[in-house]
Chain A
Amino acid sequence: MDKYEVMATKTTPYILLDPQSGELLLAGESWPENAMDVFHPLFEKLDEYFALDKEQLRVEVKLDYHNTSSQKLMRELIFRLQHAKDSDKTVILNLYYLDGDTDMMEDWEELMDDMSLNYQILKRTD
């Protein structure tokens, strides 16, 4: 599997899924016309990644802003990660919020409600 990298645009985030390092990074803003155009190809790549028998995935989410459709698909991403964990994969998830943006912190807290993933909600320092 090749590295999957999508450069950021004004309305879509930077995405990097690196099978070598076992890392997934989402950064920037996500408010596209159709959020599925961003997330559906990523979900396919994730399925491909987990099919490689990789043991671990580290996920870093550094979104500055995302719309409701993107939040819905973030929820789906979390379900997929949960499913991977339930299939004995090691998933480490770090969800970041901007300093002072307590709303985003709440967004992540609510999203992770009822999940048994190994996750942290962290304040951005960059």
Chain B
Amino acid sequence: MDKSDVFWQEKQLLEKSKQVLQDPTKTEVSLAEYQELLSSYADVLKQVIQLTRFSDRNDKRMRLLTDKLRRYVSPPLFQKITSGKETVEINKTKRVRLSIFFSDIVNFSWHSRDMEGEALSDFLNSYLEEMTHIANKYGGTLDKYIGDAIMVFFGDPVFVSDQDHALRCVKMAIAMRKRLRELHRHWYELGYQKPLFVRMGIATGHVSVGNFGSSERLDYTIIGTPVNLAARIQSMAAEDQILISHPTWALVKDCIPCSDAISMKLKGFDNEQLVHEVLLDEVAPEGELKCIENPDLGYSLKWDNSKLSLEELIKLLSE
């Protein structure tokens, strides 16, 4: 019997019981033997019950812990880690083309200077809660909060297509701005005098994505020029304005109305950068944007079905 096996005693008991049955000299089992077997069975059953309960408690502990940890990681990344697809190793990075979003509150220090610590954290948390909800709704990976600033990227850990990432990123920014406008009244009623505005910037490009840090503390984040570009573009945006880089514009221009290119000199970039302002105020609900196209016949039509039915569109075109 292999005594390095955790269950060697139980296996030994089973073997012993088999031997009793296989013994040709035995015609019946004695009461003493039956008693011994019964006692062993009762012990094994008790052990099974104890260990099952122990294992269930360990499972519960793990569940509660996982539930706490999930709040520190973005949903797509959490899903990737817990499904075992993401190996948590340092130096494991890859080059991916992503769309990166930065936002911050205009004059946040001015807004916060008269607030008590608790009021400030309530205010900031309610703002971040609302914005994070929208980022998750659009499938963005929330990279980090830096005070009142938010950094989100699209395209990792789930890669769809460059256009899909850029579109979802810009739509998220529009939805955030719309929600903020709705919240102006709410915050005014809570006693905040000046409406809160944000600056938003988006850039698309190749970055290194993966685990950065030390073996004891890792951050799943991105580094690269497009990250700096998104941050710089954001810093140049006016109140309530969404500015996007030229490569982002190239991916969304057919679906999102934008301004002509504006040439900007940005800190840290030798050449002037072309940026565009997003001119759309509201995103059509998902699935409401309809499209009919046939390049061979020379037409391509996109319209918001929530505002204009196909019949109305036909009528409009025939006029």
Interchain nearest-CB distance for A116 vs B (Å): 16
CB within 8 Å for A68 and B58 given contacts A75-B47, A111-B50: yes
Question: How far does the alpha carbon of A111 sit from the alpha carbon of B50 in the complex, in Å?
Answer: 7
Question: How far does the alpha carbon of A67 sit from the alpha carbon of B60 in the complex, in Å?
Answer: 13
Interface size class of B (residues with CB under 8 A): 10 to 19
In the complex, A92 has a CB within 8 A of chain B:
no
Q: Identify which of B3, B8, B51 contacts A71 (C-beta below 8 A).
A: B51
Contact: A36 with B4, CB < 8 Å?
yes
Question: How far does the alpha carbon of A36 sit from the alpha carbon of B53 in the complex, in Å?
Answer: 21
User: Among residues 54 to 98 in chain A, which have CB atoms less than 8 Å away from a CB atom of chain B?
Assistant: 67-69, 71-73, 75
Contact: B5 with A72, CB < 8 Å?
no
Number of A-B contacts (CB under 8 A): 39
Q: Please report the total number of A residues contacting B with Cβ < 8 Å.
A: 18
CB within 8 Å for A67 and B6 given contacts A72-B47, A72-B51, A110-B53: no
B residues within 8 A CB of A107? 54, 57
B residues within 8 A CB of A111? 50
A residues within 8 A CB of B5? 36
In the complex, B55 has a CB within 8 A of chain A:
yes
Contact: A40 with B3, CB < 8 Å?
yes
B residues within 8 A CB of A72? 6, 47, 51
Interchain nearest-CB distance for B279 vs A (Å): 54
B residues within 8 A CB of A35? 6
Question: How far does the alpha carbon of A85 sit from the alpha carbon of B61 in the complex, in Å?
Answer: 34
Question: How far does the alpha carbon of A40 sit from the alpha carbon of B55 in the complex, in Å?
Answer: 22
* Secondary structure dominating the interface of B: helix
Contact: A103 with B61, CB < 8 Å?
yes
A residues within 8 A CB of B60? 103
Contact: B58 with A67, CB < 8 Å?
yes
B residues within 8 A CB of A36? 3-6, 8
Contact: A69 with B4, CB < 8 Å?
no
Question: How far does the alpha carbon of A85 sit from the alpha carbon of B104 in the complex, in Å?
Answer: 69
Q: Identify which of A40, A67, A75 contacts B50 (C-beta below 8 A).
A: A75
Contact: A34 with B51, CB < 8 Å?
no
Contact: B47 with A103, CB < 8 Å?
no
A residues within 8 A CB of B8? 36
* Nearest CB in chain B to that of A39: its residue: B6
24 A-B pairs, CB-CB below 8 angstroms? Answer: A34-B6, A36-B3, A36-B6, A37-B4, A67-B58, A68-B55, A68-B58, A69-B6, A71-B50, A71-B51, A71-B54, A72-B6, A72-B47, A72-B51, A73-B6, A75-B47, A103-B58, A103-B60, A103-B61, A106-B53, A107-B54, A110-B53, A111-B50, A113-B50
Which B residues fall within an 8 A CB radius of A? 3-6, 8, 47, 50-51, 53-55, 57-58, 60-61
**Other contacts beyond A36-B3, A72-B47: 17, CB < 8 A:** A36-B4, A36-B8, A37-B4, A40-B3, A40-B4, A67-B58, A68-B51, A68-B55, A68-B58, A69-B6, A71-B54, A75-B50, A103-B58, A106-B53, A107-B54, A110-B53, A113-B50
